[in-house]
A and B are shown apart, each in its own frame.
Chain A
Amino acid sequence: DIVMTQSPDSLAVSLGERATINCKSSQSVLHSSNNKSYLAWYQQKPGQPPKLLIYWASTRESGVPDRFSGSGSGTDFTLTISSLQAEDAAVYYCQQYYSMPLTFGPGTKVDIK
């Protein structure tokens, strides 16, 4: 199984400042056939289901604000919120969809400082 880890566990960022979350997979999720990393990011707010933000490591889902961006390839990935807004307070999860079983990172909680 591919194990996903995230860092930090939590962070507090001031409004308008940058938030950076890291995700690492225990093996590469880069598929050689299409040169795409099978890595997604989700945002989850209390009492709500997760919301897809990013897939293919860097492709923003339709309707997601452009302050959210994803980067990385292979085993190391980053989700960046360029200018944190109040509504961005949430838990963020990375997920690999390279192989079964699908696995999620443990989550990173983002609070407003």
Chain B
Amino acid sequence: EVLLLESGGGLVQPGGSLRLSCAASGFTFSSYAMYWVRQAPGKGLEWVSRISGSAATTYYADSVKGRFTISRDNSKNTLYLQMNSLKAEDTAVYFCAKPLPGGNFYPFDNWGQGTLVTVSS
């Protein structure tokens, strides 16, 4: 059974930093690109970032480019999101997600339960 467990969310002041983690199990972690997707309170889904299985390539939404850094440790089966220069508009539940097998940018067949990040003074 695939399990994705996010942690690291919390309350942070504007301009602050936070690092999210996603512990994965139940599949060959290094064989899959992994993603972060967020959802602001009462709003829709927004893709945030993607990292390839080898960590060689990364992608970011324009809204977080230059402020967020995605990374992974395949020896620990863990995905990370380092978030710096946080803004109020970054307030959201952050989900890590695993794609269907087979190709680039495939849709997400497994999601974590999410971790809430609140940016407020």
Q: A101 near B47 (CB under 8 angstroms)?
A: yes
Tell me which residues across on chain B come within 8 A of A49, comparing CB atoms: 95, 97, 111-114
Report how far A1 CA is from B96 CA in the complex, Å. Answer: 22
B interface size (C-beta, 8 A): 21
The smallest C-beta distance from B10 to any residue of chain A, in angstroms, reads 19
Report how far A92 CA is from B114 CA in the complex, Å. Answer: 18
Tell me which residues across on chain B come within 8 A of A93, comparing CB atoms: 44-45
Question: A-side binding surface: helix, strand, loop or mixed?
Answer: loop
Q: A97 near B45 (CB under 8 angstroms)?
A: no
The smallest C-beta distance from B9 to any residue of chain A, in angstroms, reads 14
Q: A101 near B45 (CB under 8 angstroms)?
A: no
Number of A-B residue pairs having CB atoms within 8 Å of each other in the complex: 55
A interface size (C-beta, 8 A): 24
The smallest C-beta distance from A24 to any residue of chain B, in angstroms, reads 15
Query: In this assembly, does A85 line the interface, its C-beta being within 8 Å of a C-beta of chain B?
Result: no
Asked whether A52 and B114 contact (CB < 8 A) given A102-B47, A104-B47, A106-B44, the answer is no
The smallest C-beta distance from B115 to any residue of chain A, in angstroms, reads 11
Q: B61 near A52 (CB under 8 angstroms)?
A: no
Q: A50 near B100 (CB under 8 angstroms)?
A: no
Nearest 3 A/B pairs, CB to CB: A49-B111, A40-B107, A102-B47
Question: Measuring CB to CB, which residues of chain B are less than 8 angstroms from any residue of chain A?
Answer: 35, 44-47, 50, 59, 61-62, 95, 97, 100, 105-109, 111-114
